[in-house]
Amino acid sequence: MRAKIIGTGSCLPTKVATNDDLSALMDTSDEWIQSRTGIRERRLVSSESETTLSMAAQAGKAALTDSGLQPEEIDLIIVATVSSDFVTPSTACMVQKELGAVCAAAFDINAACSGFLFALNTADAYFQSGIYQTALIIGVETLSKIIDWTDRSTCVLFGDGAGAAVLRASEQGIIASLQGSNGAGGHVLMCKNRGNNNPYISTDACLDYLYMDGQEVFKFAVKKETECIHALLAQAGLMPEDIDWYLLHQANQRIIASIARKLKLSLAKFPSNVDHCGNTSAASIPILLDEVHKAGKLKDGDLLLLSGFGAGLTWGAALLLW
């Protein structure tokens, strides 16, 4: 049995921050941001009631409603995030409590922007082994709290949000999947954890924020994501044009366009929301999936290829039947 997506949901914070809004805070411009990234605006949390947990729970609830399953029918909850509100308990355990999914085992995973695909592939592995039959997977980030707002080359790229999918073990669903990591390349995109409180180790307690070498990440993204897509298509014996929809990590419209060009495909097969969401990291693919699903674009039997890359470095992809 493989994982089939039977419901989706998403949640975006209410505050819209346009490129012009950011230009009032730092030396940047709408023209620079749009021409380099395709981003017009992003949503950012702006009150104490908007948190990683609140968005994850809302997206999860919407996905459950869409699936028709009851919370207590969920066997597994996986939340992919690098910006949880608490070190412990995990966001997944807190979502379990919020939704009343009392029968689920729940844990978080950290694979940065590839996190949703790692969650999907992990749930699929549980389904293939027969351990679980249903899962709720969520990608959620409030990256705004770990971004360096004095680094204009990084802070303009990201947004906050959550996306979720309910999965059921099924005869048809995921057809092929892959994931991988290269820890040796991790220094190009990183964020140190909070200060060390160990009495034997003296460190300064100041927090570090997200650091990114944009050009290195850009090269890695285009090369690795294109390789992943070719590898996945080869696994399934398919050609690029056989896929109905490519749902790629929404980091930068230029990265998406480069990949479409390398695959010799029209951009029409590559839905995008980076213009109004920015890069929401682990949430980007499930938010996009929810948008295209709710817009009625996906038909039964469509072939979807989901692919992402991110800090770690990590990458993941899945080919599935809708």
Considering the complex, what minimum distance in angstroms separates the CB of residue 257 from ligand COA?
12
Contact pattern from residue 11 through residue 50 relative to ligand COA, giving x for each residue in contact according to CB under 6 A and a dash for the rest: -----------------x---xx--xx-------------
What stretches of the chain adopt beta strand conformation (E)? 2-11, 15-18, 41-44, 76-80, 105-109, 134-141, 161-170, 174-181, 189-190, 211-212, 245-248, 303-310, 314-321
Can you tell me which of 15, 152, 223, 262 binds ligand COA, judged by CB under 6 A?
A: 152
Considering the complex, what minimum distance in angstroms separates the CB of residue 158 from ligand COA?
8
Number of separate helices (H) and strands (E) present in the chain: 10, 13
93 annotated active-site: no
Residue 258 found at the interface with ligand COA (CB under 6 A): no
Considering the complex, what minimum distance in angstroms separates the CB of residue 154 from ligand COA?
7
Contact pattern from residue 80 through residue 109 relative to ligand COA, giving x for each residue in contact according to CB under 6 A and a dash for the rest: ------------------------------
* Catalytic residue (choose from 113, 191, 228, 277): 113
* Catalytic residue (choose from 249, 252, 273, 277): 249
Query: How far apart, in Å, are the Cα atoms of 134 and each of 118, 261, 268, 295?
Result: 16, 37, 32, 25
Cβ proximity to ligand COA: between 30 and 244 the closer is: 30
Q: Name the nearest CA neighbour of 247 among 135, 322, 149.
A: 322
Query: CB neighbours of 39 closer than 8 A, spacing ≥ 6?
Result: 19, 33, 156, 157, 252, 253, 274, 275, 278, 279
CB atoms closer than 10 angstroms to residue 149: 13
Can you tell me which of 133, 153, 170, 235 binds ligand COA, judged by CB under 6 A?
A: 153
| Sign of the Cα pseudo-torsion (63, 69, 70, 74, in order) | negative
Query: CA 256, CA 242: separation in Å to the nearest integer?
Result: 18
* Catalytic residue (choose from 11, 252, 279, 293): 279
Most distant CA atoms of the chain, gap in Å: 59
Considering the complex, what minimum distance in angstroms separates the CB of residue 77 from ligand COA?
24
Can you tell me which of 44, 64, 113, 175 binds ligand COA, judged by CB under 6 A?
A: 113
Q: Which of residues 283-322 bind ligand COA (CB under 6 A)?
A: 310
Q: What is the DSSP letter of 103?
A: T
Q: Name the nearest CA neighbour of 322 among 293, 294, 295.
A: 293
Q: How many residues bind ligand COA, per CB under 6 A?
A: 22
Would you name the residues annotated as active-site residues?
113, 249, 279
Note the residues at the interface with ligand COA (CB under 6 A).
Answer: 28, 32-33, 36-37, 113, 152-153, 156-157, 189, 212, 214-215, 217-218, 221, 251-252, 255, 279, 310
